[in-house]
Chains A and B, each alone.
Chain A
Amino acid sequence: MLVHCERLVAGYGSGGDILRGVDLDVDTGDFVCLIGPNGAGKSTLLRTISGLIRPRRGRILFRGKDIGGRRPDLLFRDGIAHVPQGRSTFPQMTVWENVLMGAHSLRDQQLARRGLARATELFPIVVDQRNKAAGLLSGGEQKQVEIARAMVTEPTLLLLDEPTLGLEPRAARIVIQKMRVLNELGTTILLVEQNARMGLSAARRGCILELGTIKLEGKGDELLNDPQVKQLYLGQAAGVDETGPNGTGPGGGL
């Protein structure tokens, strides 16, 4: 088991609990998509795993070690990379400088070179556009730069928070395809995605988080075809979201 969350409780400042006893296991090599209503605690769960928030109660084990309360920079070195919601490139810096920032924590030059080579192989855009200011790239291109930057350290676990948010359909499909490739190459992925159909189609497993606890989990396609899940979480309009004109996208038919 790569990640094991046990009765995990977390929240912000003096506010109430957002996570109210999350039990979640993620195996090495898994690709898990977290879905659920707005405010359910999906982003909070990612932040707690990556160390941005300290758990109030419960445990998080990463490779069997309790990491609750460990600093995010140390967790990053341990192999947990977190690509947050929204845009997190340094807009004034060039694309290549942004990617180099990912290597900042690597002291071993050889590891850094290998990581950079791997990131450029997976995301050729960081070479094609290397001298351009990152802020001038489109949303989809910036998201690829962010994921490439996270991949430089060759993380074991990649946490992705709504990577397709605000992206045009074509760019969203590219980002999702890249995630599949990363997973096939061995990176374990925990993805938060509001575009539930697209996320569940890409992932191996899905988990539904509601009111701070895991309500349901199962294989991605099982959840997609579950009538109750459809009614409560998948909606109508999103069923044709992000697909190509002939319904060839990962979200299903148009």
Chain B
Amino acid sequence: MSAAMNQRGGPARPISEPDANLVIRSVSKSFGGITALSECSLEVKAGSITALIGPNGSGKTTLFNCVTGFYRQEGGTVQFGDTLLAGLRPSGVVHLGIARTFQITRIFKKMTVLENMIVPIRQLGLRTLFTAGIKGYERERAEGLLEFFGIAFLRNELAGSLSFGQQKLLELAAALMAEPKLLMLDEPAGGLNPVMIDRLGAYIRDLNAGGMTFLIIEHNMGFVMQLCEPVIVLHRGRVIASGTPAEVRANPAVLDAYLGD
């Protein structure tokens, strides 16, 4: 863990060495006759910052939902390290070290900002829900993360009273409380101001240097191309390209489906 990271995010526990690849093989999913994923296969290498891009409706969020136990896939396998994820509930997936955020934030709006930060560690069973308050290391870490994302002054406000952008920052900070091995971010830059997007990129780099793997869905191509490698492109539920940002940007199929005019 780099010194910079400690400064930005508060004291962090050392994250275990990257070891678990996320391997998705021939996963399909449809909704009432509409195919969202069609035998989709891809791999997220441990230690990478992998981007998942593609047009609206190409299946990116559906893939996230299949991996994290929100949807049941209709075929194929999803494997994290040695563990098959099929049939696991979202909480079981979190226990394996996979955390995620959502395109439309899912925070607890009637709880305070600080209380929202406790939820992920309670879910992990590190403390019971009946333990009062948040103390010591956890408090420091929560405060450090809130400080970094510029929302510490809102710690005692109800999360529902925050602006959309602030709620996104809170969700991200809460996901980091779980210290996951793999963090899956669904459009993290959407709704954030440009300066915060830069800070977020730098922070992701620091966490990645400390061993955290990222899978990021994003439409902000500036953010993706500067931060991520490899970049995987999804179109109509299938991977149509993957490679370095430069390779993907020059790929005619990608230009046709997504990046071109």
The residues of A with any CB-CB pair to B shorter than 8 Å are: 12-13, 15, 35-39, 43-44, 85-86, 136, 138-140, 162, 165-173, 194-197, 232-245, 248-249, 254
Contact = CB atoms under 8 A, between A and B. Distances in A.
Interface of B: 34, 54-57, 103-104, 150-151, 154, 157, 161-166, 168-169, 187, 189-198, 201, 219-223, 225-227, 249, 255, 258-261
B261 A238 contact: no
A165 B261 contact: no
Contact of B198 (A15, A43, A195, A237): A237
A162 B259 contact: no
A5 B74 CA distance: 55
Nearest to B219: A168
Would you call the interface of chain A mostly helix, strand, loop, or mixed? loop
Nearest to B260: A245
A56 to B, nearest CB: 16
Contacts of A37: 150, 193, 195-196
A67 B220 CA distance: 38
A139 B165 CA distance: 19
B165 A39 contact: yes
B197 A244 contact: no
B190 to A, nearest CB: 5
A15 B195 CA distance: 27
A241 B190 contact: no
Given A236-B198, A245-B249, A38 B219 contact: no
Contact of A39 (B162, B225, B249): B162
B104 A237 contact: no
Contact of A196 (B166, B187, B193): B193
B221 A241 contact: yes
A168 B55 CA distance: 6
A140 B194 contact: no
A162 B255 CA distance: 25
Nearest to A243: B221
B219 A172 contact: yes
Nearest to B194: A235
Q: Which 9 A-B pairs have the closest CB atoms?
A: A38-B165, A235-B194, A240-B222, A238-B194, A138-B56, A139-B56, A241-B222, A237-B223, A237-B222
B166 A38 contact: yes
Contact of B194 (A15, A136, A165, A194): A194
Nearest to B250: A245
Nearest to A143: B56
29 contacts: A37-B193, A37-B195, A38-B163, A38-B165, A38-B168, A38-B169, A39-B165, A136-B34, A162-B164, A169-B219, A169-B221, A169-B258, A170-B55, A170-B260, A194-B165, A194-B190, A194-B191, A194-B192, A194-B193, A232-B195, A235-B197, A236-B222, A237-B198, A237-B226, A238-B197, A240-B225, A240-B226, A241-B220, A245-B260
A35 B103 CA distance: 21
